[in-house]
Amino acid sequence: MRLEAVTLDAVGTLFAVAEPVGRTYARFAARHGITLAPARAERDFGEALVAAPSLAFPGVGRARLAERERAWWHAVVRRAFGPAAERPSFETCFAELFAHYGRREAWRVFPEVAEALRLLRTQGLKLAVVSNFDGRLPPLLAALGLRPLLDLVLHSTAAAAAKPDPAIFRSASSALGVAPAATVHAGDGLVADVEGARRAGLRAILVDRRDQRPRLPAGVSRITTLSELPALVFGLD
C-alpha cells in the first residue's frame, strides 16, 4: 500500500529537554531555598516516569482534563523531589516547573527536524505528531516553530489513550483520513513507538539517536537522525 502519512513521536524524536531534568529541578528548587542533588533528582525523575500510570484519562471530560494532567505531573515531580517535596515552597516550585516545560526555552529542537518535515511534506505526505503528552503540547509545538509543518497534533490525554495503546495510533490515522497500513510512525521508544504502532497496523521506524542498535522485529527500520527519514520513507513506498 502506498504511504500517505508519517506520524512522529515528540520527545526524543523531534526535540529534547534543553538541560537535564535533574539540573533544571535543582535550579528551580534553589530559588525556593530547597537543595536538590541534580543527579539524584534525575534518577528519581526517571524512576517516577517509569512507575507512573499512563498519561491518559479515559472517561474524564474536557473540562477536568487540565486538572488531571497537572495532578499526574505533580505526583511525578513530587517523587523526583523526594523528602524535599514536604517543604511548603514545593507547591510554588512545582507550579513554576510545570509552566517552564510548556515554554520553548525548556526544549531544543534537533537541528535536522524542520528540514526533514518540509521534505516529507513537499512529497505530499501528511504529517502528525503522536505523543504521550498533555495539553501543553499543541502550543509548545507552535512556539517551537513546528506546528505549521504538521497536519495534526495528537497528545495522549486528548486521545484518552497513551502509546503503546494502539488506540492512539488508530485515532491519528482516522483523523488524518489515512489507513493505518498507509502510515509509518517514527519514534525513539521501542515499546511505545515501534511496538504500539505495529499493533495498530502502522509501519514503524526506530529513531535510535544514541546509536544503540537494539534488536528490531523484521520489517522495522532504524535511523539515527530524521535526516535519514525522507529517503527511507520514499524507499518504503
Q: Which residues bind Mg ion (CB under 5 A)?
A: 9, 11-12, 188
- Which is closer to Mg ion, CB of 11 or CB of 34? 11
Instruction: State which H helix or E strand residue 154 sits in.
Output: strand 152-155
Cell reading at 21: 531534568
By beta-carbon distance, which residue lies closest to Mg ion? 12
The grid cell for 8 is: 512522529
Taking the least distance from each CB to Mg ion, the nearer of 12 and 138 is 12
Is the CB of 11 or the CB of 109 nearer to Mg ion? 11
Nearer to Mg ion, 42 or 188 (CB): 188
Pairwise CA distance, residues 100 & 90, whole Å: 15
d(CA 123, CA 198): 24
CB atoms inside a 10 Å sphere around CB 193 = 30
The residue (of 47 and 91) whose beta carbon lies closer to Mg ion is 47
CB of 145 to Mg ion, least distance (A): 19
**CA–CA dist 215, 203 (Å, integer):** 16
Task: Give just the sign of the alpha carbon dihedral 28, 20, 140, 133.
Answer: negative
Q: Whose CA is closest to 13, among 95, 132, 123, 96?
A: 132
| 145 and 166 Cβ atoms separated by less than 8 Å | no
